[in-house]
A and B are shown apart, each in its own frame.
Chain A
Amino acid sequence: NAGVTQTPKFQVLKTGQSMTLQCAQDMNHEYMSWYRQDPGMGLRLIHYSVGAGITDQGEVPNGYNVSRSTTEDFPLRLLSAAPSQTSVYFCASSHRVGRSGVTEAFFGQGTRLTVV
């Protein structure tokens, strides 16, 4: 049982490059989400998903795309990286939060992204 696995752990991109941050969980959680954390700041919600085939925008969705084709995986895509996207990205999963009951969210170890 690995929990939430994020890859890569570190990445450097040039402005305009694209890449996909991977997130996988093996806990059969319905809910998955992506956050970014800037230095000395809290976590801001980028996108989230309440189940396979369903995604929605969080607080700061611009510049990011997501998809949820399976329960296990929730990749985050940067189509054209910008220096403002330099941050640490965290993926989280949990059983359904909000309307139908809540459980703790499990976080991955993070991906440190630098855009130059």
Chain B
Amino acid sequence: GESVGLHLPTLSVQEGDNSIINCAYSNSASDYFIWYKQESGKGPQFIIDIRSNMDKRQGQRVTVLLNKTVKHLSLQIAATQPGDSAVYFCAEITYNTDKLIFGTGTRLQVFP
């Protein structure tokens, strides 16, 4: 069945370093992917998205990479800051459906 999962449940990085959060998906028909950030006690917040016809997309301090060959998605955060500490989710939408399906999440901890 369709599933979206993450390799690392917890990622600890030092402030100023770059962070890489990974996500594997199993549905090759998925055509749109989104990364969300969720801080404690809050709802998820949109970070960046990417369509399946792209390999890379950049935002402010964030980059999403999509490798459709191995069905892998990653979120890179440059110069990680304490405010980046949160749980990060990847989510996918499959073409011709309207279901936004979330993965299980990775907790990013930033230490000084």
The range of chain A's interface size is 20 to 34
Encode contact with B along A84-111: 1 for CB under 8 Å, 0 otherwise: 0000001010001111001011111110
Q: How far is the CA of A53 from the CA of B102 in the complex (A)?
A: 25
Residues of B within 8 A of A50 (CB): 98
Q: A33 at interface (Cβ–Cβ under 8 A)?
A: yes
Query: A41 contacts the other chain (Cβ, under 8 Å)?
Result: yes
Q: Does B25 contact A (CB under 8 A)?
A: no
In this assembly, does A77 line the interface, its C-beta being within 8 Å of a C-beta of chain B?
no
Does A79 interact with chain B (Cβ within 8 Å)?
no
Contacting residues, chain B, for A45 (C-beta < 8 A): 99-102
**A98 contacts B97, CB within 8 Å?**
yes
B32 touches A42 (CB 8 A): no
Which of B12-20, B37-45, B76-84 is found at the contact surface with chain A? B37-45
Docked CA distance A92–B100 (Å): 10
Given contacts A42-B89, A102-B32, contact A107 B100 (CB under 8 A): no
A43 in the interface, Cβ–Cβ < 8 Å? Answer: yes
Q: What is the minimal beta-carbon distance from A112 to any residue of chain B, in angstroms? A: 9
| B→A interface (CB under 8 Å) | 32, 34, 41-46, 49, 51, 89, 93-105
Q: Which residues of A contact B (CB under 8 A)?
A: 4, 31, 33, 35, 41-45, 48, 50, 56, 58-59, 90, 92, 96-99, 102, 104-110
